[in-house]
Amino acid sequence: MAARALTKVMKAVRIHRFGGPEVLTVERDVPIPQPKDTEQGDKVYSIFSLSGTYAKYYVSEEKYVFHLHDSVDYHQGAAIGIPYYTAYRALAIRCKAKAGQSVLVHGASGAVGLASCQIGQALGLKVIGTAGTDQGLDLIKKNGAQSAFNHKEGGYIDKIKEATGGVDIILEMLADVNLAMDCQLCKYHGKIAVIGSRASLDFAPRLLMASEVEVYGVALQSSSEKEMREMESYLYRCQELGLLKPVVGKVYPLEDASEAHRNVIDHSGGSHGKIILTTS
């Protein structure tokens, strides 16, 4: 009887109060969620969850569940969803990138940044990336960036402008810090996709005027079902062709979820791929 009962519960991270990473607690008696329709045996990944993803099992709507190619392992599969769909949405759907254009991935060594480098290369773009460490710079060059600049070095914006003469598209991961500089890096009618921002900023709209720069917000949850299927189809084809190679950074056991969050918040050593939690 005890064995039967154990099969109905799972290990999961639960949050019972507001706070920092310390409020993430691992519980081992969480009921396993039961989907209405299941088909066992398919190798899949998903983007959004109805029950929370820090668990051994979770439930997602069918429209957000996608097939994972046999060439991609489960750790890599966990790194596809948000990063690659966000990168494709920013480049292809929001900025309508065309082969031959240049794109600056401002903060390219994290999960979304590396996905952007790979997809940018696959789309035929000239990819320029920034990172804050030598390891990060090397990583982005290995994943599609034709040139890389250290965004912790003084004068790096001038170096990018001198090397490129300006760029067509910028994918921005930290808009509250970089948006004003991005406007100065864009070519005439350049486009900036704001993917991340951690605070508000004092911004002069006049910076948009001289080159008639266009700024787009990017939020994956705003995607229509048609757009989601477009992204799924493109990214599965990239898996088949070996063009999609998710970079897994640190892997933490579920019990160390708090430490994983501290790593994300601290960020002092720079980003180097996707941080993964494992239940095994």
Residue 217, both tokens: 């917000």
Strand 65-67 to strand 44-46: parallel, antiparallel, or no bridges (unpaired)? Answer: antiparallel
- In terms of Cα–Cα distance, which of 233, 185, 204, 208 is closest to 88? 233
Q: Output the pLDDT for position 62.
A: 87
Contact between residue 208 and residue 189 where contact means Cβ atoms under 8 Å apart: no
Q: Output the pLDDT for position 38.
A: 54
SS3 40: coil
Average pLDDT of the segment spanning 243-250: 93
What single-letter DSSP state applies at residue 107? S
Q: Output the pLDDT for position 4.
A: 39
Q: How many CB atoms lie within 10 A of CB 87?
A: 28
**Phi, psi values for residue 176, rounded to 5°:** -65, -20
Report how far residue 210's alpha carbon sits from residue 206's, in angstroms, rounded to the nearest whole number. 7
CATH superfamily for domain 84-222: NAD(P)-binding Rossmann-like Domain (3.40.50.720)
Question: Which sequence spans correspond to the domains of the chain?
Answer: 2-80+227-278, 84-222
Query: Is residue 37 very low, low, confident or very high in pLDDT (cuts 50, 70, 90)?
Result: low
| Among 48-62, 87-101, 239-253, the least confident range | 48-62
Q: Output the pLDDT for position 268.
A: 62
Average pLDDT of the segment spanning 226-246: 95
Q: Output the pLDDT for position 39.
A: 65
Residues 6+ apart with CB under 8 A from 246: 72, 76, 77, 79, 80, 83, 84, 111, 114, 115, 273, 274
Q: Output the pLDDT for position 3.
A: 43
Report how far residue 13's alpha carbon sits from residue 153's, in angstroms, rounded to the nearest whole number. 39
Query: Is residue 8 very low, low, confident or very high in pLDDT (cuts 50, 70, 90)?
Result: confident
In terms of C-beta density within 10 A (0-12 exposed, 13-18 middle, 19 or more buried), how is residue 211 classed? middle
Q: Is residue 187's pLDDT more than 90?
A: yes
Q: Is residue 122's pLDDT more than 90?
A: yes
| Among 36-45, 51-60, 155-164, 174-183, the least confident range | 36-45
Q: Is residue 244's pLDDT more than 60?
A: yes
Contact between residue 272 and residue 263 where contact means Cβ atoms under 8 Å apart: no
Q: What is the pLDDT of residues 130-182, one digit of tens each?
A: 999 999 999 999 999 999 999 999 999 999 999 999 999 999 999 999 999 99
Q: Is residue 7's pLDDT more than 90?
A: no
Half-sphere exposure of 247 (CA within 13 A, CB side): 23
Average pLDDT of the segment spanning 62-75: 93
Average pLDDT of the segment spanning 4-26: 84
Average pLDDT value for the chain: 92
What single-letter DSSP state applies at residue 72? S
Q: Output the pLDDT for position 51.
A: 87
Could you tell me if residue 53 is left (phi over 0), alpha (psi between -120 and 50 degrees) or otherwise beta? alpha
**Phi, psi values for residue 263, rounded to 5°:** -60, -45
Average pLDDT of the segment spanning 225-247: 95
Report how far residue 277's alpha carbon sits from residue 126's, in angstroms, rounded to the nearest whole number. 33
Which neighbouring-strand residues pair with 26? 13
Contact between residue 118 and residue 141 where contact means Cβ atoms under 8 Å apart: no
Q: Output the pLDDT for position 5.
A: 45
Q: Is residue 1's pLDDT more than 80?
A: no
- 232 or 5, which is more confident: 232
Average pLDDT of the segment spanning 29-49: 81
**2-80+227-278 domain in CATH 3.40.720.10?**
no
Q: Is residue 2's pLDDT more than 50?
A: no
